[in-house]
Amino acid sequence: MAIVFENYQLNREAQGLPLLVAGDPQRTLAWRNGEPVSAARFLAHVQEIAAQLPPAMTAVNLCEDRYAFLVAFCAIALRGQANLLPPSRAPQAVAEVMATHPGCYAVGELPLDPSPPHYHHLPALLDTPPTGAVFDAPAIPADQVVAIGYTSGSTGVPKGNLKTWGSFNASNAGNLRMLHAAVGSDFHVVATVPPQHMFGMEMSVLLPLLDNVSVHAGRPFFPADVATALADVPAPRVLVTTPVHLRALIESGVALPPMAAMVSATAPMPVELAQAAEARYGAPMLEVFGSTETCVFASRRTATDEAWALYDDVQLHPQPDGTQVRAPQLDQPMTLADIVTLHDGGRSFRLCGRHADMLEIAGKRASLGDLTRRLLAIPGVKDGVVFQLNGGDALGVHRIAALAVAPGLDEHAILDGLRASVDPVFLPRPLKLVNRLPRNETGKLPRAAMLALL
């Protein structure tokens, strides 16, 4: 049986990888508005939306509701098109991505004003569309590009990274082995991160498509909303979050339903925060390591382990300017800017910093990551970051700056606190107090936004 969309035909018997595995039609794929959504109902929605989409090579997936995102993601892939995943849903970020893909359109479940060009407003997806087809998840060619994920811009200009359906299957296998070992199977995910981010894509989109996992359709932000979302799904529950969201949860004092695990990425997880989370919620805090370019390839339990354990068949090769990564999901080795030391016969590593973060001034060395950690350790500092400014002096030395959220403190008090543990040549000047840092949806700090605050 073939599904025909204008000039594009996908044969269900064609070679490829299933769009949807764990093939019980009645298994719960998502929880939406307090109700379970079956795999059969989901696939009917996917086929309904796919038939409505216009011809194109790419489409920007702007859906905020995670179930709508899942439907749109699969419908776009069924059309042989690629999902464009901008670093944020801000109009300028979307416009920049669309400008690099002439002829693309945008899709979302919310009415937008103003809306991007060629915006396709999805229906509510509340009813099950009529279908006479037998439940049979179609296949996607392994080499089909199904997504182009953009980096956050925290180190510069966002860059697009192509992801094939085969590469997503390969990276997801590593995440599944890690999660099955920690929490078992048949678990339910609540995520505070957007599905457009590669961490959100891996942990809240690919998992329910490629294993017997279900996901909550919402993206809870406030602590009380996280508690409600967790209560909406049965045990075992896995919370996918970030250090920023986790700190807010702990400081709020809001009680959460029992969890089997918490999974974090997008920013370094302080050991003290991981230990506090495990003590408060009685569940392991699992931190995953990866990038938009590589997807996740290592994990650790931060409260107890300093070293990162590599996924199966992943190899790291330290380079002078970073680390080369070889992984099943990569067609070619990828070099990241992270500096690591290998241990346990190369099966684990410790992170020393990023090449771009390493500082050398007057013959002395430091890292921006360590300086930021020391800034955050000062009593009264709620949030902060240390970074280098653009341009150097006559000797090529770049000035160091810092932004800090510290109600009740002034700049002099913070600098005095840093002097206790930081060499004077690495003291940030300027240091500016702000009401909040310009973090994006995943807690990252785009460099342009930090410079603008100064």
**Is the pLDDT score of 199 beyond 90?**
yes
pLDDT digits (tens, 9 = 90+) for 392-433: 554 455 788 999 999 989 999 999 999 888 888 888 888 999
* Residue 379 neighbours by CB distance under 10 Å: 8
DSSP string, 246-273: HHHHHHHT------SEEEE-SS---HHH
Q: What pLDDT score does 9 carry?
A: 38
Where do we find the tokens 């390493």? Answer: 358
pLDDT digits (tens, 9 = 90+) for 312-364: 999 999 988 889 999 999 999 999 988 899 999 999 999 887 656 667 665 56
Tell me what the mean pLDDT of segment 253-274 comes to.
94
Provide the angle, in degrees to the nearest 10, between the axes of the packed helices 243-252 and 271-281.
50
More confident residue, 14 or 126: 126
pLDDT digits (tens, 9 = 90+) for 31-80: 999 999 999 999 999 999 999 999 999 999 999 999 999 999 999 999 99
Residue ranges and CATH numbers for the domains of the chain are: 1-305 (3.40.50.12780), 362-453 (3.30.300.30)
**Chain centre to alpha carbon of residue 211:** 19
pLDDT digits (tens, 9 = 90+) for 68-108: 999 999 999 999 999 999 988 888 889 999 999 999 999 99
The burial class, CB within 10 Å (0-12 / 13-18 / 19+), for 147 is buried
Contact 388, 408 (CB under 8 A): no
**Chain centre to alpha carbon of residue 139:** 25
pLDDT digits (tens, 9 = 90+) for 282-305: 999 999 999 999 999 999 999 999
Lookup: tokens for 266: 């997008």
Residue type present at position 17: L
Q: What pLDDT score does 114 carry?
A: 85
Question: Rounded to whole angstroms, what are the CA distances from 95 to 88, 100, 213?
Answer: 11, 9, 34
Mean pLDDT of all residues in the chain? 88
340/348 Cα distance (integer angstroms): 10
User: What pTM was estimated for this model as a whole?
Assistant: 0.82
